[in-house]
Every structure is written in C-alpha cells, then in structure tokens.
Amino acid sequence: MTPPSIAVTGLGLITGAGDDVEKGWSSIATGTTGIRANTLFDTSRLLTDWAGMVTAEQPADLDRCYALAATAVREALHGSGLDLDTVDRDRVAVVVGSSLGAMPTLEATHRTFVREGRLDAERAAASQLPCVGDYIAAEFDLRGPRVVLSNACAASAVALGYAAELLWKGDVDHVVCGGVDPLAELSAYGFSALGALDAEPCSPLSASSGLTLGEGAGFMVLEPVGRAAARGARVLAELGGYGLSCDGYHQTAPDPSGKGACAAMAQALDTAGLTPDDVDYLNLHGTGTPANDASEPKALKLLFGQEIPPASSTKSILGHTLGAAGAVEAVVSTLAIDRGTLPPTINTRGAASPSGLDIVPDTGREARPDVVVSNSFAFGGNNASVVLNRPGRTGAHAPRREAVQEVVVTGVAGLAGAAGDTAALAAVFAEGRPCFETFESVAGIGDVPVGRVDIRAAARGTNPSRARRMDPLSLFAASAVGDLYARHGKPSRAEAESTGIVFATGYGPVTSVLRFHEGVLLSAPAEAEAQVTGPDPEATRARSEATGSHPSVFANTVVNAAAGHVAMLHRYRGYTATLANGGTSSVLALQLAARVIARGAADRIMVVVADEFPEQALATQAALPGYARSAHIVPGGRTGTILSEGAAAILLESRAAARARGADVLARVRGFGASGEAVGIGRIGRDGAAWGRALRTALTDADLDPARIATVVSAASGHPLVDLAQRAALRLSGLADRPVLAPKALLGETYGSAGALGLVAALTGADTHGPVLLSSFAYGGSYAAAVFDTEV
C-alpha cells in the first residue's frame, strides 16, 4: 500500500492572541500583539513580566495545561466536521507534544513538599507529562495509540512527525495531534536565569535581544486525504513531511553554523518529495535570542543560497509557547496556505533585519503560498522542521514515506537497580537474585524496597568534565550507551555522525525539576526584595538574579536533555526525538526509530531509555496502592510491585547499514502495535481489552500467529491490577499458553525502561530463539507491543 498523503482537516488554537482560531488568526494576520503583562504568578524577581498569556478564564479545578489542550482539541474536532460517533475510536490516535505538561500543579505539589515536607502523591502522579495524553483521550473518548513527545521547544513539531509515521503506515484512521504548554514558574525562572528573556516584547530577527515566553495550545485533526475526501471534509493543507536532526553541540545553544537546522529542513522537504526551490514561506523558530537569530539565518543560507523565501517569526506576536510552539506554528502555517496571508514579524520598531531576510515586517502580506516550512529548535540541539503544503501539491521526486528496508538490532545493553551493566543483569537472571534490595525510609510509610542505580558507578565511564553537567537521567542513559559500545564495538566517526537518537523515559528528569524548584523556592523572596534599591536597570537585573535559579540545572529540566548529552558525548548528528509516555515509552520509541529507518530516512538510531526515581518519586509511588513492602516480587502473585531505576540502549540499523560495517545482527524488527482506552489519568482497564488490541496489532504487523511467538516478555510486575489486566489481554490474543519471561520479577518496575530492558533480557539470555513479543502498558490506559525475531 502506498502511504497516503495526510490531510489537515481541523484546527484548534488558543494563545495570547486569542482563544480560538478566528481570533488568533485575525490578530496574527494584522500584526496585533498577543503579549501582555503576566498576571499568573509573581514576576517581581524575573527579568520581565511580558508574556503571551491567554486571557480567557480557565477552570480553577483543572490544570491550565489540560484546560488549554481541551479548548484547542475541541475546536479542531469541531472544525474538522468529524463525527466521532461514526468512526472507529480505536483507530483515532492522540499524539501530543509538551515540554512542561501540568507543570502548574506539579509546582504546587513541589512547593508543599519543599516548604512543608508534605507530599500530595495523587496530585503529583496526576501531573506527570504522559497524563496530558491520558487527559485528552479520556475527555474526548479516543482509544487509538497514544504518545506524548517532549523534545522541549521542538516537542509538538516532533509530535506531528510521529503522527505522520502512524498515518503513513496505515496504523490509524485519524490523529488528534498538537502541542500544549502553560506559562509556568519553572520556565519563567529558568529562561530568566539564562538571561534569555527580552526586557521588552521580543523582536526576533530585528533587535534580537531575547525571547518572550508565551503559552497556549495548537491542535490538528489529521487523516489520509482519501478518507477526508470520502467524508466530504474540506482539506485545509497537507502535512507533507518532517525532518529531525541533532546538533550534538551544546546543552542550550544551537550550533552556530546552522548545519543541524539545515539538515532538518532538507530532510523534511525530501520526505515530502519537494526541494528548497518549492518553498514559498518559512515560519521560523525565530525566538529573538541572539544565538537563534544568528544561527537560523545561516541555516537558511546553507539550504537556499541567496534566494531565501519570505521568513517570519510569529513568536513576536504569540511569545514562545515552548512545547506547543511546533503545533501552534503548524496551525499558523496551515492558515497561511488556506487564507492566503503570510504572517508578519512584529516589534521591528522600523529596523531592517540584520540578517537581510524578508521577515514580513509588522503586518501580514497577501500571498498564495503552496509550500511552507515551519521550524522548531530546542535545548539539547534538537532541530525539527515540518512541511505543510497546499492540497494536491506534489514535488519533482517521490515522497520518502514508504517502508523500503528491513530494520535489525545490532546492539543491546542495560542496567537496573543494583545491576549496573548488562553483565550484571545477566548475573541477576542466572542467579535469580533481585536488584531492588535497597530499603529507604518514606515518611508516613516506613522502609520500602527500591532498585537504586549507583550513580557514581554509572558516571564512571563518562569524562568527569562532561559528567558534572549531567543529571541522573543523562548519566544512566550515557552509561547504557557506553556499555553497548563496550559490548558491540564503537562506531567510527562517520558512523557516529550518521547515528540518530530516540530517547524515552517514563516520567522525565525528576531530580532536575525538583532541584530547580528547590532553588527558586528556598531563596527567601523577602531577602531578595530587600535588594531592590531603585528603578535603574542594574538594580532590576541584580534583583532578578537573586532567585536561587541554577541555569545549568534548568538546562537539564527538559526531558530531552539526556538525548542532548548522549549526542554530544558520541557526536551524533542524525534523527532525534524524545518520548515521555510512562510504561510504553520504550516500545513506542523502538517503533518510531524502526519506522524512520524502514523508510530510509535514517541508517541507524540509538534508542535510549532511562528512568530515575529520587526520594519524592519513591514517596509518591509507595503511597499509591500496590507497592510491595518486602523485596520480593511474584508477577501474578499479588505481592505488589517495586520501583527500580534503570536504563537501556538498543541500536537499530537498516540491514544494509549493518552489513556494510560488518555488524552482528542480534534480532530483526517484525512489528508493532499500540492502543488506548479512555479510562482517565492513572487508571487502566482491568478487562485487558485495549491491551489485547495492542498485542494483536503487533502480531498482525509481524504477520505471525500467536502460536509462533517463542517468548512473551511480560509486563507483569506483582501489581495485582496490572497483572490481572495483562492476563486477560494475553488470553484475548491467543497468547495465554506461550512461554513467558517476566523480567520485573528480578528488575522491578522501571516504567519507561521496562520494555527495552525486557528486550535486553530476551536477547542476552541463553534460551530465546524465535519471535519475542514485548508487552507494555502505561497508567492512563495506553498499551504498546513489539515483535522482534532472533532468527535473523
């Protein structure tokens, strides 16, 4: 089947420029600012209070993130004319990009935790990143595959890419895809500490003295053009392609040469079958920071030479909506095509752009753009470009959307709890000795077992001058990758540069987020206020910096920081994406990487997963039902489960790339399946129906009968509800009698890493021959499964 072109049939938008598409577009097209004084929290210690703040009243009993997302999703669904009651909801996916998620609620729980030592476990658990997707799925009863991407400021551009992969492969009929981020103290204090905020509303590509934060949500309804035509839907634009790349250059600054950004744009156009000559307008990343505004024009010159199309930054109107920016700007780009107006860059104050670009100054310009490229770049050196084109517009060459090559596994490594590397993991399985025998005291509960990774040991393989900048998540990830290279051989310089990285984690950099909050919260505001001596700018600056914010800790609060560190350590320059989707993260990351390699958009991708559970994460989990009190797990035995830190690295390559460098093939990729159910944050269905759908989809994709599965790598963890649901799912899928490997019995529950650690266990154990099925679940009701085959 030829992959379909993807129709954009519905748009939803809420930003500082207006709380729906019409208001927002009218403001954007006329160059009317959406930036105003931030009244959501105390800004007296920040460099500025300017922000693209949403003015519409939001419900008090719902996190601002969820409320903004719901508004935009509702509008997109309504605008698409899609009647959800007439479609197969199992085939409607939810793909969301967010950098912060429900950060306002998480901040409130951290405030009580830091100041009063009191932890509201349920609220903390319900404000984790994956919950954004779970909230949308439950609110709109969407039961297809679900994933949250979190590449900081590129998050929702990456989400559009993920959605495209699902539709090109034919996994789903519709995708509700977008991005959301609320204004939050974390990002406000963080960017302020970096000195990255403009004292005035930002003027990207003209004065370029800093960025202005914004907030909002942008969502789209995406579907194959044939399906849109069949139901008579109006197609606003097509999502033609996307490209992702990593700089491997710096934690927060872009590569000043612009090479990575150029590669992302080139790949996006190539995927769409288009060339730079086809581009009529660029919606720039255009943050307004000196670093971005110097490097992005260089990237454009590398790609376009002297003939650069009009290129503007709508962040001058909306502010930087962080993880929402990619989707918000894709909505704006779609409107540019559909309404025939190029959005302007405002706040130029009459100055020409020093870069010499046509930045469409001050007010919208009538035009008829056929092809638009929208850029989103992020911390960690992540570059994302998305191509939107007029319906039916095709290019000179064939799009690169179809699977054309086989994908194989050429390296695996992992660590979990006390087992610090792959060899130690093998010993754990050989000796049947669990790696979660550390006991830690949790207030109000007592001593509970946990699988702790020895962070000093994990840091040992990394140069200390690099290691000191890395947080636990990054160190675990780097340790797994280092172990993989030690076991399977290091790449040459050229192989490393062509390597991509897909990073996944259940819940992200918990330590860094809490440490950053602690710094801000513990710097007594009263004392900071006392330093205000007058209205002169020096005093304002001095006041603003006495916030306890650590810039380098802030750099590690983005979920993709670990990917950035690993890319810098190994000089990766290829594809990059980051997922934060709880327990399905590993399998979904493997799926994404395999799909990208299969269609020839990458030769090799290192899939890295890591999970850390510092004190307050353990306290959160131990307070919820189903946590074991003794260091003993029996999957299916109602013992309760035990949290373990862990990480794993899986190297995927095309078979041709593996052959070219003489690499041993450990397994080949056979298929994936993902599913969801609308049960709400923190819940899973006990009937196993949705879970079973993921298993059966993976079997179908792998073209295998259940009886052919040699090993089921089980997600059973000793948690009674999880084990019950999975047993039902296996029964519903004809897998109940297949041999089972239950790694969590010895490794504990690592959530995000679990699926990949299961694959490590299966591929490093002696007894696995034939097809291996990985089963995984995430709280909130989403499931993912994969089939690998050791017969290569």
Q: Is 488 a residue that touches another protein (CB under 8 A)?
A: no
Minimum CB separation of residue 465 from another protein in Å reads 5
Angle, helices 585-598 vs 155-169, to 10°: value is: 70
Q: Is 44 a residue that touches another protein (CB under 8 A)?
A: no
Q: Which of 16, 144, 551, 673 binds another protein (CB under 8 A)?
A: 551
Q: Which of 35, 159, 194, 328 binds another protein (CB under 8 A)?
A: 194
What is the separation of C-alpha 131 from the centre of its chain, rounded to a whole number of angstroms?
Answer: 13
Q: Which is nearer to another protein, 393 or 543 (CB)?
A: 543
What does the CA dihedral 768, 774, 779, 781 come to, rounded to 10 degrees?
Answer: -150
Cα separation, 156 vs 211, in Å, equals: 19
Q: Which is nearer to another protein, 199 or 732 (CB)?
A: 199
Q: Which of 531, 656, 660, 686 binds another protein (CB under 8 A)?
A: 531
Q: Is 403 a residue that touches another protein (CB under 8 A)?
A: no
Stretch that binds another protein, among 45-53, 129-137, 246-254, 707-715 (CB under 8 A): 246-254
Q: Residue 373's beta-bridge partner residues?
A: 282, 387
Angle, helices 21-30 vs 325-339, to 10°: value is: 80
Stretch that binds another protein, among 108-116, 189-197, 428-436, 772-780 (CB under 8 A): 189-197
Q: Which is nearer to another protein, 287 or 711 (CB)?
A: 287
8-state DSSP, 753: G
Q: Which is nearer to another protein, 566 or 742 (CB)?
A: 566
**How many alpha carbons lie under 13 Å from residue 662 in its C-beta half-sphere?**
3
Q: Which residues contact 513 (CB under 8 A, 6 or more apart)?
A: 106, 110, 186, 557
Query: Closest Cα partner for 513 from 580, 419, 460, 577?
Result: 580
Minimum CB separation of residue 350 from another protein in Å reads 25
- Could you list the active site residues? 153, 285, 320
Q: Is 292 a residue that touches another protein (CB under 8 A)?
A: no
* 509-528: burial string, b at 16+ Cβ within 10 Å, e else: bbbbbbbbbbbbbeeeeeeb
The answer to whether the beta carbons of residues 792 and 695 sit under 8 Å apart is no
Q: Which is nearer to another protein, 525 or 770 (CB)?
A: 525
* 233-258: burial string, b at 16+ Cβ within 10 Å, e else: bebbbbbbbbbbbbbbbbbbbbbeeb
**How many alpha carbons lie under 13 Å from residue 165 in its C-beta half-sphere?**
28
Q: Is 791 a residue that touches another protein (CB under 8 A)?
A: no
Minimum CB separation of residue 531 from another protein in Å reads 6
Minimum CB separation of residue 515 from another protein in Å reads 12
The answer to whether the beta carbons of residues 781 and 692 sit under 8 Å apart is no
Query: Closest Cα partner for 289 from 208, 384, 397, 376?
Result: 208
Q: Which of 68, 95, 220, 555 binds another protein (CB under 8 A)?
A: 555
Q: Is 195 a residue that touches another protein (CB under 8 A)?
A: yes
Q: 410-449 mask for another protein (x: CB under 8 A)?
A: ----------------------------------------
Q: Which is nearer to another protein, 114 or 291 (CB)?
A: 291
Q: Which is nearer to another protein, 464 or 625 (CB)?
A: 464
Q: Which is nearer to another protein, 136 or 478 (CB)?
A: 478
Q: Which of 365, 550, 719, 744 binds another protein (CB under 8 A)?
A: 550
Q: Which is nearer to another protein, 442 or 470 (CB)?
A: 470
Q: Which of 15, 43, 80, 252 binds another protein (CB under 8 A)?
A: 252
Q: 453-472 mask for another protein (x: CB under 8 A)?
A: -----------xx-xxx---
Q: Is 523 a residue that touches another protein (CB under 8 A)?
A: yes
Q: Is 250 a residue that touches another protein (CB under 8 A)?
A: yes
- Characterize the bridge pairing of strands 6-15 and 237-246: antiparallel
Measure Cα distances from 473 to 124, 415, 479, 508 in Å: 19, 12, 10, 8
Q: Is 201 a residue that touches another protein (CB under 8 A)?
A: no
Minimum CB separation of residue 195 from another protein in Å reads 7
Coil, strand or helix at 766? coil
Q: Which of 552, 720, 770, 792 binds another protein (CB under 8 A)?
A: 552
Q: Is 541 a residue that touches another protein (CB under 8 A)?
A: yes
Minimum CB separation of residue 539 from another protein in Å reads 9
Q: Which is nearer to another protein, 466 or 683 (CB)?
A: 466
8-state DSSP, 324: G
What is the separation of C-alpha 725 from the centre of its chain, rounded to a whole number of angstroms?
Answer: 27
Question: Count of residues binding another protein (CB under 8 A)?
Answer: 26
Q: Which is nearer to another protein, 547 or 782 (CB)?
A: 547
Stretch that binds another protein, among 145-153, 250-258, 337-345, 729-737 (CB under 8 A): 250-258
- What's the first-to-final CA gap in the chain, in angstroms? 25
In order, the DSSP letters of 120-170 are: -HHHHHTTSTTHHHHHHHHHHT--S-EEEE--GGGHHHHHHHHHHHHHHHT
Q: Which is nearer to another protein, 223 or 545 (CB)?
A: 545
Question: Helices H, strands E: what count in the chain?
Answer: 29, 27
Q: Which is nearer to another protein, 349 or 468 (CB)?
A: 468
Q: Is 251 a residue that touches another protein (CB under 8 A)?
A: yes
Minimum CB separation of residue 551 from another protein in Å reads 4
Q: Is 545 a residue that touches another protein (CB under 8 A)?
A: yes
Minimum CB separation of residue 464 from another protein in Å reads 4
Q: CA 116, 122, 125, 126 torsion: positive or negative?
A: negative
Q: Is 254 a residue that touches another protein (CB under 8 A)?
A: no
Q: Is 546 a residue that touches another protein (CB under 8 A)?
A: yes
Coil, strand or helix at 33? coil
Minimum CB separation of residue 538 from another protein in Å reads 6
Minimum CB separation of residue 550 from another protein in Å reads 7
Q: 134-153 mask for another protein (x: CB under 8 A)?
A: --------------------
Minimum CB separation of residue 532 from another protein in Å reads 12
Cα separation, 39 vs 633, in Å, equals: 49
What backbone phi and psi angles, to 5 degrees, belong to 382?
Answer: -100, 125
Cα separation, 272 vs 266, in Å, equals: 10
Q: Is 193 a residue that touches another protein (CB under 8 A)?
A: yes
Q: Which of 542, 631, 665, 710 binds another protein (CB under 8 A)?
A: 542
Minimum CB separation of residue 353 from another protein in Å reads 22
* Residue 459: burial class (beta carbons within 10 Å; 0-12, 13-18, 19+): buried
Minimum CB separation of residue 580 from another protein in Å reads 23
Coil, strand or helix at 650? strand
Quick one: which H or E segment has residue 740? strand 740-741
Q: Is 253 a residue that touches another protein (CB under 8 A)?
A: yes
* 757-768: burial string, b at 16+ Cβ within 10 Å, e else: bbbbbbbbeeeb
Quick one: which H or E segment has residue 782? strand 782-789
Q: Which residues contact 123 (CB under 8 A, 6 or more apart)?
A: 105, 108, 109
Chain residues binding another protein by CB under 8 A are 193-195, 250-253, 464-465, 467-469, 523, 531, 538, 541-542, 545-552, 555
